[in-house]
Amino acid sequence: MNRKTAPTRAKPADPCCFVIFGATGDLTHRLLVPALYNLAVEGLLPEAFALLGVARSEMSSEAFRADLAKTLPKFATRDIDQRAVDRVLASVTYVQGDPDDNATYERLGRELERVEGERQTKGNRLFYLATPPAGFAPIGRHLGNSGLAREEDGPWRRVVIEKPFGTDLASARALNQELLSILKEDQIFRIDHYLGKETVQNILVLRFANGLFEPIWNRDHIDHVQITVAESLTVGRRGAYYDGTGALRDMVPNHLFQLLSLIAMEPPSRFAADAVRAEKAQLLDAVQLVDRDEALRNAVRGQYGEGIIDNKPVEPYRRTPNVAADSTTETYVALKLMIDNWRWANVPFYLRTGKALSAKQSEVAIKFKQAPVAMFRDTPIDRLAENFLVIGIQPNEFIGLEFNAKIPGPSIAIRGVGMTFKYQDYFDTAPSTGYETLIYDCMIGDAILYPRADGIEAGWRVVQPFLDVWREQPDKDLATYRAGSEGPKEADALLAKDGRRWRPIA
Ligand code: BG6
């Protein structure tokens, strides 16, 4: 076995003030502060750094700091290094205010000036919008009107927008327009936490740093592609958000389309933000837009009923707190998409995602065309195993190749075998929140992992016909599936009518 390789070292990010709107929320405690702490441990957080929390609750900076001190050990992904904890906490200030009130921005402005002087952060500011989506446009407007996000005379000003970016094509366009009337595109960082996953980033390296795959990465050799993001988690306490959203909006135009575009994009001319983002947007732009009949034919939506997961009984989705008793919101979606370009014509891409499934499993599986079995016609062999290249994203991080091998012995017999590369065998990485690289990249101004306005809109354009047809016919074809199963049988039929089948979720 090779000796394990530690992660590459990088230099600390630019001095800056990290301003979090929605600072008392779950995201701040669970992910953002633990990620900043991990950056501090790795020496990537700049020495000149300040963290400013903005939220509505009446609270002093001391109380906010004490709150973070309590939750950080709970959510930290690695052992606590008290010096790094103290360093992060010492940088914290709290600003109370309604994010839709001018006075908040006056107070924030004064506090920023004070802190910037004290901590020498050079005027660089990163505004992180960790609020519910209704806050994105108003906060953007206030940051614009107050001048706090204006870039002039050197220092950078960047705004990170959380998901969901819009709820459909029209709202995503409107949000882009609004933000772009205040900020330049290179100041806007639309976050998709799937791009923070190492295995997702590695798709680019697998495809473009190896001479092996690109020549066969096309319709001449690939039969179809399956993209699965399965969760065993139920909707749990997120009913209020989820019931108005559904699996399609929650997962597809963002996370699944990031996987799709990385898998199917053309090679970018350079490994640089604009080149990569342009190719990704182009790919999404080439996905065939479906009419209403095709939308019904090429999609399956399902909702989980009761069942058992991890030996525990699960209530049906409709009995989740804050979910309507007659809800038609889908907790599962499967789509068949076609891409209208030279590389992918006639190669179906099957995507599926759902809650309360049998296991958590995210993977991309590329099925290569079958070898002609005819050569073996005078032997007992009547079928060959399928050739899959599988990229395991989580929880198992691997790349596996499935192919046929001869069973040892005097007669010819064949069975499918596998060759697997596991990340953990080669690389020594400390567990992380998945936000570290994204935050660090934003602090150094590298937007390669952040989708651009055109990419976001191209994604919504693809899912819009499905949203429309389901809105018009809320009950039509809503399948149900048992919690703890692999999804509705209708999803199996989606592939079966093309003579294909899903890989198991195990
Ligand atoms: C979020 C969705 O964006 O992604 C959640 O809102 C989902 O519903 C989550 O559970 C999945 O992320 P991960 O990293 O656990 O696959």
355 CA from centroid of ligand 1 (Å)? 10
Pocket perturbation via mutation, ligand 1, pick of 193, 235, 362 by most ligand atoms within 8 A of CB: 193
Residue 109: how many other CB atoms lie within 10 Å:
14
21 CA from centroid of ligand 1 (Å)? 21
Phi first, then psi, for residue 38 (nearest 5°) are -60, -40
The residue whose CA is least distant from atom 2 of ligand 1 is: 250
Q: Which of 31, 68, 74 is nearest to 53 (CA)?
A: 68
Question: Judging by DSSP bridges, how do beta strands 398-406 and 414-422 pair with one another?
Answer: antiparallel
Phi first, then psi, for residue 252 (nearest 5°) are -80, -55
CB-side neighbour CA atoms (13 Å) of 480? 11
Could you write out the DSSP letters of every residue in 480-499? Answer: EEEETBSS-HHHHHHHHTTT
Give the mean pLDDT of the chain.
95
The residue whose CA is least distant from atom 5 of ligand 1 is: 250
Judge whether residue 381 has pLDDT over 90.
no
- pLDDT tens digits, one per residue of 456-500: 999 999 999 999 999 999 888 899 999 999 999 999 999 999 999
118 CA from centroid of ligand 1 (Å)? 38
**Per the structure block, which two tokens stand in for 112?**
């920023």
Q: Is 255 a known active-site residue?
A: yes
Q: Which of 202, 195, 191 is nearest to 392 (CA)?
A: 202
Residues with CB under 6 A from ligand 1: 163, 231, 250
What is the model's pLDDT at position 412?
85
* Closest ligand 1 atom to Cα of 241: 6
SS3 323: coil
**Distance of CA 34 to CAs 30, 69, 449, Å?**
7, 11, 20
Judge whether residue 1 has pLDDT over 60.
no
What is the model's pLDDT at position 219?
98
* Closest ligand 1 atom to Cα of 362: 16
Question: Judging by DSSP bridges, how do beta strands 49-55 and 92-96 pair with one another?
Answer: parallel
What is the model's pLDDT at position 428?
86
- pLDDT tens digits, one per residue of 247-296: 999 999 999 999 999 999 999 999 999 999 999 999 999 999 999 999 99
> Using the 8-state DSSP alphabet, how is residue 287 labeled?
B
Could you write out the DSSP letters of every residue in 144-209? Answer: HHTSTT---SS--EEEEE-S---SSHHHHHHHHHHHHTTS-GGGEEE--GGGGSHHHHHHHHHHHS
Lowest mean pLDDT among 146-150, 213-217, 242-246, 371-375: 371-375
**Distance of CA 301 to CAs 81, 105, 296, 325, 326, Å?**
46, 44, 10, 18, 16
The backbone region for 418, taken as left when phi is positive above 0, alpha when psi lies in -120 to 50, beta otherwise, is beta
In angstroms, rounded to a whole number, what is the distance separating the alpha carbons of residues 227 and 362?
Answer: 8
In angstroms, rounded to a whole number, what is the distance separating the alpha carbons of residues 431 and 102?
Answer: 40
pLDDT band per the 50, 70, 90 thresholds, residue 2: low
In angstroms, rounded to a whole number, what is the distance separating the alpha carbons of residues 303 and 491?
Answer: 12
111 CA from centroid of ligand 1 (Å)? 34
Helix (H) or strand (E) holding 88: helix 82-90
pLDDT band per the 50, 70, 90 thresholds, residue 385: confident
Residue 400: how many other CB atoms lie within 10 Å:
17
Q: Which of 402, 119, 33, 450 is nearest to 274 (CA)?
A: 450
248 CA from centroid of ligand 1 (Å)? 12
The residue whose CA is least distant from atom 15 of ligand 1 is: 231
The residue whose CA is least distant from atom 4 of ligand 1 is: 251
250 CA from centroid of ligand 1 (Å)? 8
- pLDDT tens digits, one per residue of 229-261: 999 999 999 999 999 999 999 999 999 999 999
Where b means 16+ CB within 10 Å and e means fewer, 332-344 reads bbbbbbbbeeebb
In angstroms, rounded to a whole number, what is the distance separating the alpha carbons of residues 109 and 54?
Answer: 12
Judge whether residue 78 has pLDDT over 80.
yes
pLDDT band per the 50, 70, 90 thresholds, residue 375: confident
Where b means 16+ CB within 10 Å and e means fewer, 115-132 reads bbeebebbbbbbbbbbbe
**Distance of CA 405 to CAs 372, 382, 402, Å?**
15, 15, 10
pLDDT band per the 50, 70, 90 thresholds, residue 5: confident
What is the amino acid identity at position 212? L
Pocket perturbation via mutation, ligand 1, pick of 31, 255, 363 by most ligand atoms within 8 A of CB: 255
**Distance of CA 80 to CAs 362, 363, 401, 504, Å?**
30, 32, 39, 39
Pocket perturbation via mutation, ligand 1, pick of 194, 250, 396 by most ligand atoms within 8 A of CB: 250
Phi first, then psi, for residue 106 (nearest 5°) are -65, -45
**Distance of CA 489 to CAs 249, 302, 494, 496, Å?**
22, 10, 9, 10
* Closest ligand 1 atom to Cα of 229: 16
- pLDDT tens digits, one per residue of 112-133: 999 999 999 999 999 999 999 9
Only one residue has tokens 């007992």, namely: 380
**pTM, whole model, 2 decimals?**
0.95
Mean pLDDT of all residues in 174-182: 96
In angstroms, rounded to a whole number, what is the distance separating the alpha carbons of residues 452 and 281?
Answer: 8
Judge whether residue 153 has pLDDT over 90.
no
CB 57 within 8 A of CB 87: no
List, in order, residues 6 or more apart from 291 with CB less than 8 Å away: 465
Of the listed 29, 142, 193, 255, which one is catalytic?
Answer: 255
Question: Judging by DSSP bridges, how do beta strands 312-314 and 349-354 pair with one another?
Answer: unpaired
